[in-house]
Amino acid sequence: MPDVTSADRERLPIAARPYDGPVFEDAKDPAARFPPIEPLRPPAGAPNVLVVLIDDAGFGSSSAFGGPCQTPNAERLAGAGLKFTRFHTTALCSPTRAALLSGRNHHTVSMGGITEIATSAPGYTSVRPNTCAPLAETLKLNGYATAQFGKCHEVPVWQTSPLGPFDSWPAGGGGFEHFYGFIAGETNQYYPALYEGNTPVEPPSTPEQGYHFTQDMTDRAIAWIRQQKALMADKPFFAYYAPGATHAPHHVPPEWSAKYKGRFDAGWDALREETFARQQQLGVIPPEAELTARPTEIPAWEEIDDDLKPVLARQMEVYAGFMEHTDHHVGRLIDALEDLGVLDDTLVYYIVGDNGASAEGGVHGCFNELIPLNGAGELETTEFLSERIEQFGTPEAYNHYAVGWAHAMDTPYQWTKQVASHFGGTRNGTIVHWPAGIQARGELRHQFSHVIDVAPTVLEAAGLPEPTVVHGVEQKPYEGVSMRYAFDDASAAERHVTQYFEMFCNRGVYHEGWTAVTRHSTPWIQGKPLPPFADDTWELYDTNKDWSQAHDLAAELPDKLAELQALFMEEARKYGVLPLDDRRIERFNSDLAGRPTLVHGNSQLLFGGMGRLSENVVINIKNKSHAVTAQVMIPDGGAEGVIVAQGGAFAGWSLHLKDGRPTYSYNLLGLQHFAITSDTPVPSGAHQVRAEFTYDGGGLGKGADVALYLDGTKIGEGRLPATVPLAFSGDETCDLGSDTASPVSDQYTAETSRFAGTVEWVQLDIDDAAENLDHLITAEQRLRLAMAKQ
């Protein structure tokens, strides 16, 4: 597109210019000449852009910032670029990602928490306003090629079904022309629930064949960039590389964790001291910085039972190997850019963490994080964990490390992920590499910066204006500040001088070096009453002198504290933080939170071929009586495989045929597997298979009686002593005709789960709707259900 001005680019998409020349009747007329078609491109000199965002990694994790996890590729980029030592995130995943990709504060784009706890309050809906167009859309409409690989946790939960809507998906309204990854807060690295674009796909191989998602997504990112440069060499790209690593589950091939064997036997207190010393040597913290005290809520290593210490040390070995493995694959991507000759002209952001290290594993960590998530953490005893010590990090585990390791990974700061009040939750080491645009090499930058600063930096580097109108909608201005002013000026006065923080009502404000903060809740302590907001204890720090927030000045300077408390409230009103909401469990209930749901009433009818249905789009059958009825067609010779399954190897249920006989399998948090079977095979032809689940009642997670029916006749029954109360999985789904990802039951594998007949439909009925006297659903009853839902 010729002669596009900066003003033209303020309104996107750029308006087409009508032809205003003479009209010719004959194209063969020598005068009938027209300017050539020119494809849209950004201004000359606009660089490629690669943003790498590591998940759940604290400031003190990567070796580039003094941590114990070896990240040679991060160090390599830093050696030819810059380390930003005072870069900040929001303290939680969805909010950080929404802020990064929009250039606005997380409440401005309605992502005040993770998507699963969205409410109807304006700052918390999880629905990005169309007044805040994403960076990828802006770049695409200016002529960039755009692609995202890895994790997306910004889709409202009621929009996560295979039917969308896709306004918030990367390849829908997110501005990315290509997407390969998962739509969730976490995924099983060996059995990820993948999408290519908006279409569900399965991994290309199995864990037994060496599959790991980080390697897979890197292969796809490299292939996309190579193709992009092969076909459109003059067109810059924007690639967003966001692995699920190093979020739990901590999954890594054993050879990577083996590198760290014995490395952490001295415990987390000693590790903090070692990391702190390395950080001072590297200069990522100043000589006068102090190592903050360990909170009393975190046990000292010497207080840990000797029998448990080997398990805890193993947890950290696995995590360190996981991070090094992730950095290795980032290095493969960097190598590919170098091989193509485009690395020097690529603006690379390597952000080591979307928040502080995660303390969500609990005081002792866990082997299967769904066990503590479902309120059964006491089952993971020292003996239980010790028996499984060699399985940590493998496909047999869904593991997370202990709080003490998370705190050590946030050295030298206080607290962890979710605690937005303190730097342990929000300060993340960040590396910027762009040899063609930055003269400095291997230098440190100490200016205060925030994740909302990335988008305006990218636009300035590309020579693009911030758009005022996108798709006909007037835009809210960016709230971040470009960081480019500091690229070649280490002593430049910082320009991002005020920033509020809030997550789960842990809140604070930064202003010209001063911070006023208050911790309202603790990530790993749930179920206890929280204090009124007015009773929260505020702390005051002068980080111009006290780098790590080690000395609370609140008692000494009450007027200064009051000034900053008032500033926090001013910022909170300005950016949509209010009302503060410290509910947690309640916000998972869509009715209490005011979120839309896809499922209404007590029945849900699904059809053969449907799949990749998250728990948010399937009727909730937990803690209640229910029935699962399936209409199937059996070929001559019988059938095998899964009719319907929900969940995976660490919790879930399935109705399937084993040796042609109906079987109901129940996976109780990976601890016990129950199979309720019949002696009656299903003959060829059309039949109805039904499982009736009679819940004991009296609370959550109680037992149940299960009965199996074939065409209305009881053919089997059994007993479940306990059930899963809250969640089957964070990423595994409900599928008809197969059990995708990791298998629920030990009676089949993912490969043998495909149903050898035809599943026509499956109906889920709960409570009163589950009562059917003849244990058979007639066509008339199905029609009545369909009419009732209209």
d(CA 81, CA 543): 25
Distance of CA 771 to the CA centre of its chain: 39
Rounded to the nearest 10 degrees, how much is the dihedral formed by the CA atoms of 386, 390, 393, 396?
-90
What pLDDT, on the 0 to 100 scale, is given for residue 783? Answer: 55
Structure tokens of 87?
């870069």
Structure tokens of 405?
């390791």
User: What residues of the chain score a pLDDT lower than 70?
Assistant: 1-2, 769-774, 779-790
What pLDDT, on the 0 to 100 scale, is given for residue 588? Answer: 86
Phi-psi region of 695 (alpha: psi -120 to 50; beta: other; left: phi over 0): beta
Structure tokens of 552?
């609370």
d(CA 109, CA 97): 11
* Beta strand segments in 661-745, E: 661-668, 672-677, 685-695, 704-710, 713-720, 734-736
The b/e string for 657-695 (b: 16+ C-beta within 10 A; e otherwise) is bbebbbbbbbbbbbbeebebbbeebbeeeebbbbbbbeb
Q: Peptide bond preceding 254: is omega within 30 degrees of 0, i.e. cis? A: no
Reference 485, options 447, 431, 436, 429; nearest CA is: 447
Contact indicator for 127, 141 with CB cutoff of 8 Å = no
What pLDDT, on the 0 to 100 scale, is given for residue 787? Answer: 46
Reference 677, options 666, 667, 693, 664; nearest CA is: 664
d(CA 218, CA 214): 6
Residues 6+ apart with CB under 8 A from 292: 412, 413, 414, 424, 548, 549, 550
Contact indicator for 433, 350 with CB cutoff of 8 Å = yes
Structure tokens of 335?
């190598």
d(CA 280, CA 288): 9
Reference 202, options 739, 766, 704; nearest CA is: 739
User: 545, exposed or middle or buried, with CB in 10 Å at 0-12, 13-18, 19+?
Assistant: exposed
What pLDDT, on the 0 to 100 scale, is given for residue 65? Answer: 98
Reference 710, options 692, 727, 733, 695; nearest CA is: 692
Reference 205, options 747, 756, 750; nearest CA is: 750
d(CA 540, CA 480): 24
Tell me the pairing of strands 626-634 and 758-766. antiparallel
Packed helices 309-339 and 72-79: angle between N→C axes, nearest 10 degrees? 50
First to last CA, the chain: 49
Could you tell me where the DSSP H helices lie in 414-518?
423-426, 454-462
Residues 6+ apart with CB under 8 A from 558: none
d(CA 122, CA 577): 9
What pLDDT, on the 0 to 100 scale, is given for residue 666? Answer: 98
Packed helices 309-339 and 213-231: angle between N→C axes, nearest 10 degrees? 10
Q: Is the pTM of this model over 0.95?
A: yes
Contact indicator for 69, 62 with CB cutoff of 8 Å = yes
Max Cα-Cα span within the chain:
92
Angle at 787 between CA 786 and CA 790, to 5 degrees: 95
Phi-psi region of 58 (alpha: psi -120 to 50; beta: other; left: phi over 0): beta
Angle at 717 between CA 711 and CA 720, to 5 degrees: 130
Distance of CA 482 to the CA centre of its chain: 26
CA dihedral sign of residues 371, 373, 375, 380: positive
Contact indicator for 410, 59 with CB cutoff of 8 Å = yes
**DSSP codes, 457-475:** HHHHHHT-PPPSEETTEEP
Contact indicator for 568, 500 with CB cutoff of 8 Å = yes
d(CA 219, CA 225): 10
Question: HSE (CB half, 13 Å, CA atoms) of 98?
Answer: 31
User: 513, exposed or middle or buried, with CB in 10 Å at 0-12, 13-18, 19+?
Assistant: middle
Phi, psi of 322 (to 5 degrees): -60, -45
d(CA 293, CA 296): 9
Residues 6+ apart with CB under 8 A from 612: 161, 162, 193, 200, 733, 735, 740
